[in-house]
Amino acid sequence: MSGIPAVYAVTAAAILWYVISTLAAWYRLRKFPGPTLAKFSYLWAYFAMRTGRNQFIMAEQQEKYGKIMRLGPNELMIYDPETLWYINGARSTYRRGGWYDSAKFDPYGHNILSEPDTVTHDKRKAKVMSGYAGKGNVNIEQKVDSQLALLVDVLRKNHLQEGDNIVDFSKLIRFFQVDLVTLVGSSEPWGDLPTETDKFDFISLADGMVPFLDSFMMVPYLRNFFASSFFLTLAGPKATDKKGMGRFMGLIKGMVEKRFGEDSTKSIEQGEQGDMLTEWIKHGLSRRECEIELAIQVPTGTETTTSGIRAIMLYLLTSPNAYRKLQEEITAGIRDGRISSPISQEQAKQLPYLQAVIYEGLRMVPPAVAGFPKKVPAGGDTICGEFVPAGTDIFVNVYTMLRNKEVFGKDADTFRPERFLVCDPAKKAELIKTVDLIFGHGRWLCPGKTLAWFELNKVFVELLRNFDFQVVNPESPWTCKAYISILIEDFWIRVTERREY
């Protein structure tokens, strides 16, 4: 019985500590409006994320509370592009928030996306950017062209010649993307596209992880626990596992081991591979660093661009006027000799309607809808006209930012590529610069932007020059769930051969 008072005392102390710390957190950011629960707890953001309707919930709340709102006890959310350019500038003193600690597919080390220390991040980025930018022998355009040719071939052979012209585009484009990213990363495409199968169960792994991972990332206690040495030692994935994240880590480890084998020196000197991994080794990344970077390059390079391609395709297929205009631009370009086979990057940049369609599609369904917080530096700062204390995490509401009527007009919720064509040059530059924020900015610019634009500039031309497409289920064209990133499934389309030029 003597131990009972001690238990009561510890319990009372814990409750008192929680109440005091909660009130202190509320008081610190008390002037900022937001959902009542978000002022005291991380549960509001967690449950908003778990719904799979995060983009709509955040948009509704942001419209209610304004450009800067309370997201959690120590978190604010904004959608003002001017503030984001400032926060993410190359000389900004803002650093990454703790949210980034969970941005790993190999949980045992920081990668270029998760690294919290700015100096370490900058040094690592300097080493990996040559590969991401397609320098050295990394011919990104050639690799994109080869995979697009395979994509066209798969559509023609598997879905036209075989008589089955209905295809789940959401799956098909993911198979394409997985093979492209692994080809560019290590010269070893996984082979998903030719057989239209999730060969190593990576896609099912990623889809299963996103709702859980994106949700617990909003709660510091949870993300700290799952990233702790205690948890990783007790239940963390291992490269020897036969399934799950461990199996994925084992695949990455094997790809890197080949490059550090007996013939690694010869391979690097002669540039035989022509891939990102070779460039990383040339620029001084260790074996372990290569494993970590490749482990994040595959999921981020696969999921983001895939969402963009699927979104643009859906909006094209459900906007007959835009679909017709883009096909006419492609047809005229082919007839006039301005579009080769395949189309080159430079040729694509000279197609104004194609560029407008891409930017407008990315605006409507950004690859990531929220997240990516930066921490207010020492001394605090003024954001959206309000002083914010040091140490506060500033999240970005990408979805609302790209539907901001002050920037994109009263019809910002409508897919209208012409908005990029009928405005003056200064306004067009503002629109493009704002949409470009989906790739980050300044120090935090997405390293995969170069590859993404090669794909976006080419894929629609190569598909629409060869085929016509139609949505199979107009009333419910796809299943789309938004967490931090977007999950799109069941996007069924009908494919027919196109011979008009």
SS3 for 466-482, per residue? HEEEEECCCCCCCEEEE
Structure tokens at 159: 């879905």
pLDDT for res 109: 92
Average pLDDT over residues 474-490: 93
Looking only at the bridges linking them, the beta strands covering 166-168 and 370-375 are unpaired
User: How many other CB atoms are found less than 10 A from the CB of residue 2?
Assistant: 5
What is the H or E stretch that residue 232 is in? Answer: helix 229-235
| C-alpha span between 38 and 28 (Å, rounded) | 13
What is the H or E stretch that residue 395 is in? Answer: strand 393-397
Task: Dump pLDDT digits (tens) for 89-125.
Answer: 888 999 999 999 888 889 999 999 999 999 999 999 9
pLDDT for res 302: 87
- Is the pLDDT reported for residue 271 higher than 80? no
Q: Residues 169-186, buried b or exposed e (16+ Cβ, 10 A)?
A: bbbbbbbbbbbbbbbbbb
- Is the pLDDT reported for residue 262 higher than 70? no
What is the H or E stretch that residue 71 is in? Answer: strand 68-72
Average pLDDT over residues 408-437: 97
Helices and strands: H and E segment counts in the chain? 22, 12
What value does the mean pLDDT of the chain take?
Answer: 92
Looking only at the bridges linking them, the beta strands covering 486-489 and 479-482 are antiparallel
pLDDT for res 499: 75
| C-alpha span between 168 and 190 (Å, rounded) | 20
Q: Which residues pair with 275 in a beta bridge?
A: none
Q: What is the pTM of this model?
A: 0.93
pLDDT for res 177: 97
Q: How far is CA 247 from the centre of its chain?
A: 22
Structure tokens at 151: 């994509």
pLDDT band, very low/low/confident/very high, at 273 (cuts 50, 70, 90): low
User: Contact, 347 vs 458, CB < 8 A?
Assistant: no
pLDDT band, very low/low/confident/very high, at 1 (cuts 50, 70, 90): very low
The domain limits of the chain are 31-66+102-494
Task: Dump pLDDT digits (tens) for 21-63.
Answer: 667 677 799 999 999 999 999 999 999 999 999 999 999 999 9
pLDDT-above-90 percentage for the chain: 81
Q: Where are the alpha helices (DSSP H) in 94-168?
A: 118-132, 140-156
pLDDT-above-70 percentage for the chain: 93
Per DSSP, 43 falls in state: H
pLDDT for res 282: 94
pLDDT band, very low/low/confident/very high, at 351 (cuts 50, 70, 90): very high
CATH of 31-66+102-494, one of 1.10.150.20, 1.10.3210.10, 1.10.630.10, 1.10.1370.40: 1.10.630.10
- Is the pLDDT reported for residue 270 higher than 50? no
